[in-house]
Amino acid sequence: MIWNPEYECMERAALQELQLRRLQMTTSWAYERSVYYRARMDEAGVRPRDVRSLDDVRRLPLTDESALRQTSPFGMFALPLDEVVRVHSSSGATGEPVVVGYSRGDINTWTELTARVAAAAGVKPGDLVQMAFPYGMSTGGWGLHYGIERIGATIIPAGAGRTERHLSMMQDFGTTVLVSTPSYALFLAGEGEVAGVDVPSLKLRLGLFGGEPCSDKMKAEIEAKLGLRATDNYGLSEVMGPGVAGECECACGLHVNEDHLLLEVVDPATAEPLAYGQEGELVITTLTKEALPVLRYRTHDLTALDPAPCACGRTLVRMSKVRRRTDDMLIVRGVNVFPAQIEAVLAQIEGARPHYLIVIDRKQNADDLEVRLEVEESVMTDVMPDMLAFQNSVADKLQSALGLRASVTLVESGAIERAAGMAERTAGGAAAHTAGGEPERTSGGTVKRVLDLRDQG
Ligand SMILES: [Zn+2]
């Protein structure tokens, strides 16, 4: 089902005209109402009237998460708080939350765009849609919630966690659609098997998955285990939340809601524009947001755009699935983990050496996070209780920083290979990625990550 054919199937020339008109409006809106954007545009010597074509978007300054963080909570807003009807926050790429806001109009647009994404995936009135994204400050649960309601499907706002309850509701209600991260879908299938649930006989027929990369292998495994068709959708809180793009039934990339968002793909190193089909960093400009317009937001997600007509009839450009990021985030059991957070904890620990290794492995369909830590000789005593106490105290400190239990392994000084930023893949299944020049995020192997904490030469 195409939710809004007028816009989703618009002729591209007319669409680009609409985009230009909206880009000009957004640029003026941001310049006139946001102290932050006015300062940045003055610095760059560019005025709203300089935007005469869509290519002129490149004259505008780039924005990134650090801008949102520095002006947090409300410094980038272009509306006073009495016109902001909701705020959310995102963990951002460094783990420090950034706050985003929505006007009444923004919420309405967001609902329209998530309705489009859900409809493109195949959600219909009559579907029972079980939400397994968290409700709370993150945009995951709320975003698709309203879009699914708007379509006329029945939403089951179960939220994240409580797997047993998810399974029993799926059985009792006859849930037809699951909305979650791909790794949670697999975890759910595994837990169901353990609990003696006949998972393939559940009524699930469709999955809307997002929030983390999903390999083809993982997708096939989810489809086989849960007996559903898996679809991918994309969004990020800093721009809006879910609703930026989603797969249609052709499963040939994610249609981007271009009437509300202008996308560029740039070389991550130079920020120079790349042609259609070339993979680079996705940069997004919102075209209709009122409370928090974002101009040229660097997403750190790597993708390529394809404007070729799609068999579904939509004319909206398709972005390839995001499988890699330019930054450093690891996703472990659906929780964003940043090596910088781990590093900060370890740096405080007396007896820890400046070398550690993060190993993420998949055990029983759940990511297992292990931190191998080099310690001073004084810590490696023969007194077992002392070592265990040390190990536990490191694990406790990590847990309070990450919100996630990691297993801690202590190793002798020099035991961790010195290869900063190098990734090494071994057998198994995990989601992770590497530091340095060649970041890669995948669901197809264990990634070991070696870092020099405080390089002492
Ligand atoms: Zn399509």
pLDDT digits (tens, 9 = 90+) for 266-325: 988 889 999 999 989 999 999 999 999 999 999 999 899 999 999 999 999 999 998 777
CA of 223 to the centre of ligand 1 (A): 20
CA of 305 to the centre of ligand 1 (A): 13
* Residue 439 in this model has a pLDDT that exceeds 50: no
Q: What is the pLDDT of residue 90?
A: 83
> Where do we find the tokens 């310049």?
31
Q: Which of the four CATH numbers 3.30.300.30, 3.50.50.60, 3.20.20.70, 3.40.50.1980 does domain 330-452 have?
A: 3.30.300.30
Check if the beta carbon of residue 179 is closer than 8 Å to that of residue 144.
yes
Start and end residues for every CATH 3.30.300.30 domain found in the chain: 330-452
- Which residues pair with residue 446 across a beta bridge? 426
Is the sign of the CA dihedral 370, 376, 382, 388 positive or negative?
A: negative
Q: Which of the four CATH numbers 3.10.110.10, 3.60.15.10, 3.40.50.12780, 3.40.50.720 does domain 1-251 have?
A: 3.40.50.12780
Q: What is the pTM of this model?
A: 0.75
CA of 50 to the centre of ligand 1 (A): 34
Residue in 1, 4, 19 with CA at minimum distance from that of residue 307? 19
Ramachandran region, residue 165 (left: φ > 0; alpha: ψ -120 to 50; beta: rest): alpha
* Residue 344 in this model has a pLDDT that exceeds 50: yes
CA of 234 to the centre of ligand 1 (A): 15
Q: Provide the 10 A C-beta neighbour count for residue 281.
A: 21
Check if the beta carbon of residue 265 is closer than 8 Å to that of residue 253.
no
Start and end residues for every CATH 3.40.50.12780 domain found in the chain: 1-251
CA of 430 to the centre of ligand 1 (A): 30
CA of 249 to the centre of ligand 1 (A): 7
CA of 6 to the centre of ligand 1 (A): 15
Q: Provide the 10 A C-beta neighbour count for residue 194.
A: 10
- Where are the alpha helices (H) located in 282-410, listed in sequence order? 339-347, 384-402
Residue in 145, 68, 110 with CA at minimum distance from that of residue 286? 110
State the Cα–Cα distance between residues 242 and 235, nearest whole angstrom: 4
Could you tell me how far CA 62 lies from the centroid of its own chain?
A: 20
* Residue 363 in this model has a pLDDT that exceeds 80: no
Over range 407-430, report the average pLDDT: 57
CA of 2 to the centre of ligand 1 (A): 10
